Chains A and B, each alone.
Chain A
Amino acid sequence: MKRREFLSKGSTIAGAGLVLGAPSILKAANKGGDKINVALIGMGKQGQVLFRAMSNIPGLHFQAVCDIWDYNRRGAAGKVRSLQGHVPNRYTDIDELLEKEKDLDVAIVATPDFWHSPHTVKCLDAGLHVYCEKMMSNTLDGARAMVHAMERNKKLCQIGHQRRSNPRYRYTLDHLINNNNICGTIVNINGQWNRAVKSSQDIQYKKSLAIDQAVLDKYGFKDMHQFMNWRFYRDLSGGPISDLGAHQIDVFNWFLGCRPKSVFASGGNDFFKTREHFDNVMAIFEYDAPQGPVRAFYQVLTTTSAGGGFYESFMGTDGTINTSEMSSSSAIYRESTAPEWDDLVKRGYLDKKAAPPKPKSTDGIASYESAAPEEFAIPGVLNKPPHQPHLENFFAAVRGEATLNCDARHAFESEAPIFWVNPSALQKQPIVFTPEQLQV
């Protein structure tokens, strides 16, 4: 089955994310190929990433921009002008935007995490479809409110777990894991995001560009440093496990088709002593997956880029698949005892890599090791910015031409366990999930 056909049917585990929740509204009434009027809510770093990806999508009209920082507002207006030849209406306050802009169709929310829920709920209540960056919120209740608002208003709400629309990930799940079962029984998962100290430093700003303190107070920031570095604060974000880990733990849950039954985490302010959030977190999730028990380890380190950067590794009895948004970090390994994959290579499902070097016979340790697994690769690379397919899916759903790949309900089901990683690390205790802890 080709991906297009798969998307149009949209009824499998891969399409719906997890299998727990009833499908909510996944596509709008057919809007056809008309222009879609877009409001950009939050045009900081992530908002700009989304804008760059959207600038490749035809049929969008960037009508309004909202950001409390004049620097971001002016920058966004300039980008819209150079792309579309008009200056969008600019707002500091989202309430004013929603009151004045009457013919908007969608809002793209890329504000700090603690504003995701209030902004998304306001936009949904105003009758807009919403694409909101992950993590849904910094609190479970905030995320719940987004699901309720989506279902109450019968509007689309896509959460920015962009890997769910990445054809390499979808291909891996549909064809390699589900259809061809190349992993055999998946027993373990390993994932990580290791980021260098240099990339984890405080974000600086020019004093002359600072926001007025009264504006900062109004929008929940104690000062400009906190505005620039909101990811370090517990009241404003979920920290590295949420910023970086949420994408990959979502992939764990998506690929397994279920949520973990428990989490046991450890973390600390090992290097960045004054930050509220842990700079290094390691977590073990336990699953009772349909295929059997699975144990998943995830680590987010903000003090080293060594160890392979960021990837997810699905380790089964027949093979292991390493997935990553970076195709260079992706790989597939066949266990020496697994059935041959030559036919899959011949049919284009896998690319075969060069054989690994044989261990030297003089190496005494080598005799205790398993035979080196053969290496394969997922064929092809994504030929556009990584967020673009997810945004394309959202706009296609707005036009009634596709179903959402990650609506708020399914995103909530996948994100809910992530909210319990920091509490487990703080308490130094495993948390066995109760239905109340994970339900909408």
Chain B
Amino acid sequence: MSTESKAANNPLGLLFASLLLRVWLGVRAVQTGIEKFAGKVMSESPVKIDGEAYDADLTEAASSKGYSLENYHGIPEAMNTTFSEEPLMMGWALKIYDVVLGPALIILGLTILLGVASRVSLFLLGLVYVSLTWGLILIKQDAGIAWLGIHMALIAMALSWANHNRFCLLKKW
């Protein structure tokens, strides 16, 4: 029995497989984009001795995670410096990429989650991962390249199962 005929005999399994993969890739992209807006929120509170504040001038700092537009860095600062020293990396392109990367991941993640033009969305997300891979090749981050390779395999798998997609807002494309 051919693989296609086997798949045709298991429509519920394929539906769940494509749905789970779509959710995984969507969540992965959306949250990665949101994390680019994350930063530390510092707060101070008076030192307490035996439960009472000792002096308003003597404080302990605490940091917590927070999200804001001011925190945004498409490319982490340290990596940005490394890229800017690469002769093949054009400065203007790096600046545009820095601005676009976070919103692009969020938008593509959402379209994949909601099933809006899934094939095109998956293809564009794949292109984003290709671009990330190229950057990591430049700075010799082999572990990161392998990690993105797994993502590319998952995208290819999601594209090949696109016919089994259900619960889509825009099935076309």
Closest chain A residue to B60, Cβ basis:
A380
Segment of B30-38, B48-56, B86-94, B160-168 engaged in the interface with chain A: B48-56
**Are A348's CB and B49's CB within 8 A?**
yes
In whole angstroms, how far apart are the Cα atoms of A349 and B49 in the complex? Answer: 6
Residue numbers in A under 8 Å from B59 (CB-CB): 380-381, 383
Cβ-based interface call for B44 (8 A) = yes
**Are A167's CB and B57's CB within 8 A?**
yes
**Are B54's CB and A381's CB within 8 A?**
no
B49's partner among A168, A347, A383 (CB-CB below 8 A) is A347
**Considering only CB atoms and an 8 Å cut-off, how many residues of chain A contact the other chain?**
17
B52's partner among A2, A380, A384, A389 (CB-CB below 8 A) is A2
Cβ-based interface call for A353 (8 A) = no
**Are B57's CB and A379's CB within 8 A?**
no
Interface string of A145-175 (1 = CB under 8 A from B): 0000000000000000000000110010001
**Are A381's CB and B52's CB within 8 A?**
no
Residue numbers in B under 8 Å from A389 (CB-CB): 57
Cβ-based interface call for B58 (8 A) = yes
A347's partner among B44, B46, B50 (CB-CB below 8 A) is B50
Cβ-based interface call for B104 (8 A) = no
Residue numbers in A under 8 Å from B44 (CB-CB): 383
Interface string of B53-87 (1 = CB under 8 A from A): 11101111100000000000000000000000000
Residue numbers in B under 8 Å from A3 (CB-CB): 54-55, 58
B54's partner among A167, A383, A384 (CB-CB below 8 A) is A167
Residue numbers in A under 8 Å from B48 (CB-CB): 348
Q: Is the interface of B mostly helix, strand, loop or mixed?
A: strand
Interface residues on B, range: 10 to 19
Residue numbers in B under 8 Å from A383 (CB-CB): 44, 57-59
Cβ-based interface call for A4 (8 A) = yes
Cβ-based interface call for B15 (8 A) = no
Q: A379-B60, A381-B61, A383-B44 are in contact. Are A175 and B49 (CB under 8 A)?
A: yes
B55's partner among A167, A348, A349 (CB-CB below 8 A) is A167
Cβ-based interface call for B47 (8 A) = yes
**Are B58's CB and A168's CB within 8 A?**
yes
**Are B60's CB and A171's CB within 8 A?**
no
In whole angstroms, how far apart are the Cα atoms of A383 and B43 in the complex? Answer: 11
> Least Cβ distance of A410 to chain B in Å?
21
B60's partner among A4, A347, A349, A381 (CB-CB below 8 A) is A381
In whole angstroms, how far apart are the Cα atoms of A2 and B54 in the complex? Answer: 5
> Least Cβ distance of B61 to chain A in Å?
7
**Are A384's CB and B55's CB within 8 A?**
no
Interface string of A355-391 (1 = CB under 8 A from B): 0000000000000000000000001111110000100
Name, among A2, A347, A383, A384, the residue most crowded by chain B CB atoms within 10 Å (CB to CB): A383
Closest chain A residue to B61, Cβ basis:
A381
Task: Please list the 9 inter-chain residue pairs (A to B) with the smallest Cβ-Cβ separation, ordered nearest first.
Answer: A380-B47, A167-B58, A380-B58, A3-B55, A167-B55, A383-B59, A379-B47, A348-B49, A380-B60
Give B residues with C-beta under 8 Å from A. Answer: 44, 46-55, 57-61
Inter-chain pairs besides A347-B50, A380-B58, A384-B57, 10 sampled, C-beta below 8 Å? A3-B54, A167-B55, A175-B49, A348-B49, A348-B50, A379-B47, A380-B47, A381-B58, A381-B59, A383-B59
